[in-house]
Chain A
């Protein structure tokens, strides 16, 4: 048999994949967050020989991010860029994606916000296969639902803030509706701009509450500090759809565009019942906001982080009108303003919250209490759901077709971006404020309060539920729902 270079590479990848996944050592198990005793997920199948070219390709490989000439961070990225490529797919039309892992670590790609089977969702805790260093695989899936999604790594980082979501492994994913539905959409715009907020150079630092939390050196938009990236070029009179993603491993971000207002039309890629104009956006880790900005104030402006200390870390991008000159202008907001309720439909009279198609009162309640266990001053806490840390957390069993209400009592002093895989939930209460009609996959659950979401169990298979802060999920803030 003649061993072509292409085939050699593939075989080498398969061999190293088998070696890595067959080791069974604690380090790999920890990296994959697999508890002792639980079977390891199968290795990702290699790309079939003689396969036709895939629709999309992701190369996971080392990369040096240059946030500015003075701020360079060795990291891992998709296709040699941060953020990764913008992938556009059609809702309901199957696609194939080849993923090559040229990094030194076992990797996996999570397709955040899609209703995918476990095999392709991209979470080892659910049983999705991982890709060993040097390995390649091909996945095929049918994208659903439509909207602004994203994809990112879903691996363990622990104390190493150069791994997991601390890396540059994140990219935009736009699932487009068919043309008729698009025409029916009220959100008409002239062009789209995609912006990813991220933090770099993290270290664990003591926090005021006696524990520890990540502290970063720089903050970027689309991988660049303010003044070092290409400006967003716009024209007067344009309606620009800004799709903003907070890909930060741990940080909530607030952004404003000086001289302009955001007309929020979708949260986490799902249209909101009440589009609203707001002066700034707040995004917890993994949240997305889609907002139309009417370009009606010619000039050179800054879209930046509202909080001064984060702005000074570089989180900003220049928005430049055609033919406008001069230094970019930043108008510092004096307050932080955000409320989920302004985009939701009012809660129904009588205190009920259930929206169509659910039946009022039929939701099965699952109480969840979030707290942490002290580990010494200046040390990260261990996080718990109902008093247990992953992998020892409970695994509630869901009945397909039933509706569930997650009652999340957050006893901690942190807000937590809670994410449910493979499903969308309806936000019904945030910290005591009832609402309906807001469909999301991440909710920033406020500290010291109780919030509720409801979802219909209509995507059988293991379903991961976790705080999207990398340091929290690595320290136990996860659980897996199982279907009967």
Chain B
């Protein structure tokens, strides 16, 4: 494979996961009805792709700011909306794309031993940031708390609707996390993200995305969500060093009296 082909493969794989805009392993819970979760995802690629390939901007030193708005619909459903942006020397602040993400979960009344929800995400991103412009994802989510330990897995499946990978079929891009409550306020853990290319014929390790983040979650208030992490990507197809942060604020906009 020529060097250019390798670079193209690296880039398209990286772009398909869209992971550098929202780097998060989902928990099974949904946002409560009549409330809004506002999150700002700030991700900086400290060491990434340095070349422009096939008119797609390099990821190196890109600063991604993603606004995520999630509205609770019922006690078991929500819908999320994303605005992706990118800032980079020479390109300035650019709008990248938008996604919408409905999600349902197993209601508490079913008394399942693990939390389970199912998310689907559809959206567009500009071709200079992602060669696959229209994509769809379905993401099962399973989580469980055991004492101070928390586990979650997101075996996500992806499909390109428009772009070079439109004929590639279903891609497999799992995520997982396990964390430990050091104190009531401080939680430490690891997050894992991967992209194995086509689920029916996974690509070799060289072409896979593999990322491990060391993260801390700060539980300073039920209204706030703070997640900070540093991730490394050991494979050629992965951005090698990313610093990420999530700042979230929960807004309860329903009218609540003392008797509600």
Contacts and interface: CB of A to CB of B under 8 A. Distances in A.
Interface stretch (A102-110, A322-330, A355-363, A372-380): A372-380
B222 A208 contact: yes
A59 B109 CA distance: 33
Counting chain B residues whose Cβ lies within 8 A of the other chain, the interface size class is 10 to 19
A335 B259 CA distance: 6
Interface string A328-365: 00001111100000000000000000000000000000
A378 B152 CA distance: 14
A374 B184 contact: yes
A309 B148 contact: no
Interface string B175-189: 000000101100100
Nearest to B108: A205
A376 B148 contact: yes
Given A210-B184, A217-B109, A377 B219 contact: yes
A377 B257 CA distance: 27
Contacts of B181: 374, 376-377
B145 A378 contact: yes
Nearest to A332: B259
Given A374-B181, A376-B147, A377-B181, A336 B258 contact: yes
A319 B239 CA distance: 70
B219 A379 contact: no
A222 B145 CA distance: 36
Name which of B108, B184, B257, B260 has the most chain A CB atoms within 10 A of its CB: B184
A203 B258 contact: no
Nearest to A209: B222
Interface string B209-225: 00000000001001000
Query: A-side binding surface: helix, strand, loop or mixed?
Result: loop
A208 B111 CA distance: 19
B150 interface: yes
B251 interface: no
Contact of B259 (A203, A307, A377, A379): A307
Contact of A336 (B109, B149, B187, B259): B259
A186 B150 CA distance: 59
Interface string A364-388: 0000000000111111000000000
A379 B145 CA distance: 8
Contacts of A306: 259
A379 B148 CA distance: 8
Counting chain A residues whose Cβ lies within 8 A of the other chain, the interface size class is 20 to 34
Interface string B126-156: 0000000000000000000101111000000
A309 B260 contact: yes
Interface string A296-327: 00000000001111000000000000000000
Nearest to A280: B259
Interface in B53-99: none
A335 B183 CA distance: 36
A287 B59 CA distance: 64
Name which of A206, A208, A308, A377 has the most chain B CB atoms within 10 A of its CB: A377
Nearest to B260: A308
Given A215-B108, A377-B145, A307 B183 contact: no
Nearest to B29: A206
Contacts of B184: 210, 374, 377
Interface string A188-223: 000000000000000101101110000101000000
Contacts of A333: 259
A375 B183 contact: no
A335 B219 CA distance: 31
A309 B254 CA distance: 15
Contacts of B259: 306-308, 332-336
A374 B184 CA distance: 6
A205 B260 CA distance: 19
Given A307-B259, A309-B260, A375 B109 contact: no
Contact of A335 (B108, B111, B257): B257
Contacts of B187: 377
A315 to B, nearest CB: 13
B18 to A, nearest CB: 29
Contacts of A378: 145, 150
Contacts of A308: 259-260
Contacts of B222: 208-210
Contacts of B145: 206, 376-379
Contacts of A205: 108
Interface in B242-259: 257-259
A375 B147 contact: yes
Contacts of B219: 210, 377
Contacts of B183: 374
Of all A-B residue pairs in the complex, the 4 with the closest CB atoms, nearest first, are: A376-B148, A378-B145, A374-B184, A208-B222
Interface of B: 108-109, 111, 145, 147-150, 181, 183-184, 187, 219, 222, 257-260
11 contacts: A206-B145, A210-B184, A307-B259, A307-B260, A333-B259, A335-B257, A335-B259, A336-B259, A376-B149, A377-B145, A377-B150
Interface of A: 203, 205-206, 208-210, 215, 217, 306-309, 332-336, 374-379
Given A206-B145, A335-B257, 18 more contacts: A203-B111, A205-B108, A208-B222, A215-B108, A217-B109, A308-B260, A332-B259, A334-B257, A335-B259, A336-B258, A374-B181, A375-B147, A376-B147, A377-B148, A377-B181, A377-B184, A377-B187, A379-B145
